Amino acid sequence: MKIRYLVLILITFSFASVFIGVSNVSPLDLFHLTEDQAQILLVSRLPRLVSILIAGMSMSICGLIMQQLSRNKFVSPTTAGTLDSARLGILVSMMMFTAASPFQKMLVSFAFALIGTFIFMKILDKIKFKDAIFIPLVGLMFGNIISSISTFFAYRNDLIQNMSSWMQGDFSMIMSGNYELLYVSIPILALAFFYANKFTIAGMGEDFSKNLGLNYRQVVNLGLIIVALVTASVVLTVGVIPFLGLIIPNIVTIYRGDHLKKSIIHTALLGAVFVLFCDIIGRLIIYPYEVPISLTVGVIGSGIFIYLLLRRKKYGL
Amino acid sequence: MGYKKKTIILAIIAILLAMLYIFYDLRGNIGYILPRRIIKVVAIVLTGGAIAFSTTIFMTITNNRILTPSVLGLDSLYLLVQTFIIFIFGANSLVMMSSNINYLVSIGIMVLFSLLLYRFLFRGEKNNIYFLLLIGMILGTFFGSFTDFMQVLIDPNEFMVAQDRMFASVNNVNTDLVYISIIIIVAALIYFMRFYKYLDVMALGKEHAVNLGVPYDYIVKRLLVIVAILISVSTALIGPITFLGLLVVNVSYELMKTYRHFYVIWGSVFISIIALVGGQFVVEKIFTFDTTISVIINFIGGVYFIYLLLKENKSW
Amino acid sequence: MVDIKNVFKMYNQKKVVDDVSISIEKGTITSFIGPNGAGKSTLISMISRLIAKDDGEITIDGQDIMKTKNNELAKKISILKQSNSINLKLTIRELVAFGRFPYSQGKLRNEDWVKVDEAIRYMELGEIQDKYLDELSGGQRQRAHIAMVLAQDTEYILLDEPLNNLDMRHSVQIMKTLRKLVDELGKTILLVIHDINFASCYSDHIVALKDGKIIKQGRTCDVIDQCVLKDIYDMDIEIQNIDDRKICVYF
């Protein structure tokens, strides 16, 4: 698939996304908007579109970076405990500082996501049996454990239902004023783009990178920081969107190959297109109600993931 | 100290703890309280034993000490079923509906699910067990998304009922269900006995086992079915305790320092009972029901698991 | 006698073993040689029913291996694969005792322990028999595994690269032991081996495989031949006779 087709699809979907909703705003109204309609566009529809685009792109790229660094196709924020750690972080910040600002929450959540991912990478080092299937299994177990720790605290503070509600990714609550934190991702993604080559080299292993004169630790740490920061900001504003970082990079790899520099733009675009698509489906399927994005992506994503697993020999994953 | 001695000591501790739990501070209406406590202990012994036993077998089949049957996605499926019932019929239905029916339906769905999963993945030749587990785990996540979705939509008051189901608890164990569970578990164990002699050899790995004349694939499939049944029964009886098996079987291996399944299984069963009875005692007397046993055990089991993973080890 | 007739095996549309037919006589050592990916390990795994064949027939003493009961077969044929990653807390003696499983089903009788002791003695492991596997060197562990196969006391023994990770002294020691097993106890041994000089010096027959097909099979002196080796390995290999042994010089 050429980039321009992806861009074309992205624009079409974005356009559709803006004009789907309970309040009627049609493209024809665009030139003579009533005050209400303008309000809806600016406060709800456009922020929603922007947050979908950012979340889709950044979670996909996070997955891509993690796969490069761990040299395993099935490692992603979902399968490495990053998402669960970020969630634990939010819970802790809610318990410790009741009046925490979103930014403070994000910092705490970022710290947890970073530590969690770091522990996972340490575990990877210790595991001798590096079967491609076994690693994500360990990662998912690790994630479950982190959530059982969250549950422990949530239960004691009567936050279980609360936690379920911000565990699931949901764009319907996005409005101007509560999603701006997502913009943090943009400069970070730019950074990821500049470091793309280095991540690929670091993925070849410590000895290989040293041989090429690359500071291995530094690059890996930078990669993990990027992943943790982006994940924290997305989880806090949108919620958990499972499988995104897992399937998008793998689909791109199938037709673009493994070199990060070559695939990073495709990954970002496809991620955005995919989330947009799922969001539109979620909004239409039980119209006028909405299915949260975590469910649509979860259903479609797990289906795609299982398909990829079944066909993995064929695609050389 | 030899492993035989250790097994006996563990058994004694388990029995003493059970006694302590039953007779501690026994006041008031003894005719009511005593049978209640005994039923609770029986439920704990059943669940703890079934989980420890099936996890040991499971680790032998997978040749790995960091995997538990909970990765098959059965816990999540159970929660989905419970949430679904509340979502569709309301919380009252769960109270109204005979708990026997709920119990049997839950077990039926879980066992059916695992059979379908096995069947689907074991056709064809390249049946990698890790693959089976990963698929199970993804389906578990998938069920989890649905559960979360419904939980948010449920009325907060009704949610309290759902929440009770999310966490294992022996406080409202139904006596009838304990009897049914005993029957199912005993039946599963009788069926298991014919495979018992193969366990030690299977721990050597598939190639060695086949070389030594073990009909490996045949036995693995049967053992997986037994595991699914035991896990389903214990989950439906008191609720999911995801990391209990992981915790007790690993402790048992560390303590026993032997490969012989006879001692590892008994060790883990006793440790499991000690953990559950002790935990229940702590929950009732110290936390005064402020938390649930499964939350504590999952917490401890989870932390211990991370410790195991980070410790240099050759077992995985 | 092991009879292999028109056996096939495919992996992902690639023929790994392609129409192979061999008969192996009793009381001999047969070496399977060939470049990487020739299908040697796959073939030997199929003979020992570790992996299923796609087509063809394999019989041992006239019995089809797929129709023989697992337990009966385990008394007739044993295999040792190259990856021996057992991570149990086992001593050598306990490991060797597992070799008696086909006979004892886990409950060892006196005659089983006699066999275990014999196997340990044969592999000269007596002094370290109570050491745990993870305390052993690579060579000791390899010998312990071979002792387990010996305790299994089968007529046919299949070994997949038994010399992997062994130094020269241990390699020679193991090959001599194998020779002794054939000459003294009348066993039949099939092994996959990379070093053609070991194959040349110790085996009675050699089967040369390449791309899943048999290129040449026959007595050792017929296969260790400049033209044949050129076909197998695509390189010129000079052969010298030293003390009546054919030594390949391929450096």
**In the 3-class helix/strand/coil scheme, how is chain B assigned residue by residue?**
CCHHHHHHHHHHHHHHHHHHHHHCCCCCCHHHHHHHHHHHHHHHHHHHHHHHHHHHHHHHHHCCCCCCHHHHCHHHHHHHHHHHHHHHHCHHHHHHCCHHHHHHHHHHHHHHHHHHHHHHHHCCCCCCHHHHHHHHHHHHHHHHHHHHHHHHHCCHHHHHHHHHHHCCCCCCCCHHHHHHHHHHHHHHHHHHHCCHHHHHHHCCCHHHHHHCCCCHHHHHHHHHHHHHHHHHHHHHHHCCCCCHHHHHHHHHHHHHCCCCHHHHHHHHHHHHHHHHHHHHHHHHHCCCCCCCHHHHHHHHHHHHHHHHHHCCCCCC
How many domains does chain A fold into?
A: 1
* Residue A317 clears pLDDT 60, i.e. is over it: no
| B residues 54-73 lying closer than 8 A (beta carbon) to A | 64, 66-67, 70-71
A chain contacts of residue B166, beta-carbon cutoff 8 Å: 160
Other Cβ atoms less than 10 A from the Cβ of B10: the count is: 22
Kindly list the domain boundaries of chain C, sorted by start residue.
Answer: 2-249
ipTM for the complex? 0.81
* Residue B303 clears pLDDT 90, i.e. is over it: no
Identify the chains in contact with B, defined as 3+ C-beta pairs within 8 A. Answer: A, C
Q: Is the Cβ of A155 closer than 8 Å to some Cβ of chain B?
A: yes
* Residue A19 clears pLDDT 80, i.e. is over it: no
What is the pLDDT confidence band of residue C221, given thresholds at 50, 70 and 90? confident
pLDDT number for residue B123: 66
What's the mean per-residue pLDDT of chain C?
Answer: 84
Cα distance between residue C25 and residue C20, in whole Å: 16
Q: The domain spanning residue A42 has which CATH number?
A: 1.10.3470.10
Peptide bond before A27: cis, by omega within 30 degrees of 0? Answer: no
Nearest to B15 by CA among B253, B270, B269: B270
Q: What is the mean pLDDT of residues A133-159?
A: 81
pLDDT number for residue A314: 58
* Residue C249 clears pLDDT 50, i.e. is over it: yes
CA C178-C66-C150 angle, to 5 degrees, is 20
Contact by Cβ (8 Å): C190, C156: yes
| A residues 75-94 lying closer than 8 A (beta carbon) to B | 78
Q: Which of A87, A130, A145, A308 best probes binding to B when mutated, by most B CB atoms within 10 angstroms? A: A145
Q: What is the mean pLDDT of residues B19-32?
A: 82
pLDDT digits (tens, 9 = 90+) for B33-86: 888 888 888 988 998 999 999 999 988 888 878 778 877 888 888 888 888 887
Q: Name the strands in the sheet holding C205-210, side by side, starting at the edge strand that comes first in the sequence.
A: C77-80, C156-160, C188-192, C29-33, C205-210, C213-219
CATH superfamily of B3-309: ABC transporter involved in vitamin B12 uptake, BtuC (1.10.3470.10)
pLDDT digits (tens, 9 = 90+) for B178-211: 888 899 999 999 999 989 889 888 888 888 888 8
pLDDT number for residue B316: 47
R_g over Cα of chain A: 19
CA distances from A213 to A67, A216, A222, C180, C216 (A): 22, 9, 17, 54, 49
Other Cβ atoms less than 10 A from the Cβ of C111: the count is: 11
Give Cβ neighbours of residue B287 (< 8 Å, ≥ 6 apart): none
A chain contacts of residue B62, beta-carbon cutoff 8 Å: none
**In the 3-class helix/strand/coil scheme, how is C142-160 assigned residue by residue?**
HHHHHHHHHHHCCCEEEEE
C chain contacts of residue B213, beta-carbon cutoff 8 Å: 70-75, 101-102
Find the distance separating the first CA and the last CA of chain A, reported in whole Å. Answer: 19
Kindly list the domain boundaries of chain B, sorted by start residue.
Answer: 3-309
B chain contacts of residue A152, beta-carbon cutoff 8 Å: 291, 295-296, 298-299
Range of the domain at A209: 3-315
Q: Which CATH number among 3.40.50.10320, 3.40.50.300, 3.30.460.80, 3.40.50.920 corresponds to the domain C2-249?
A: 3.40.50.300
Three-class SS state of C131? coil
pLDDT digits (tens, 9 = 90+) for A76-110: 888 888 888 988 888 888 888 777 777 788 888 88
Cα distance between residue B261 and residue B271, in whole Å: 15
Taking CA–CA distances from B247, the nearest residue in chain A reads: A145
Contact by Cβ (8 Å): B137, B69: no
* Residue B314 clears pLDDT 60, i.e. is over it: no
Q: Is the Cβ of B260 closer than 8 Å to some Cβ of chain C?
A: no
DSSP A42: I
Contact by Cβ (8 Å): B95, A97: no
> Tokens for B128?
């990698």
pLDDT number for residue C236: 82
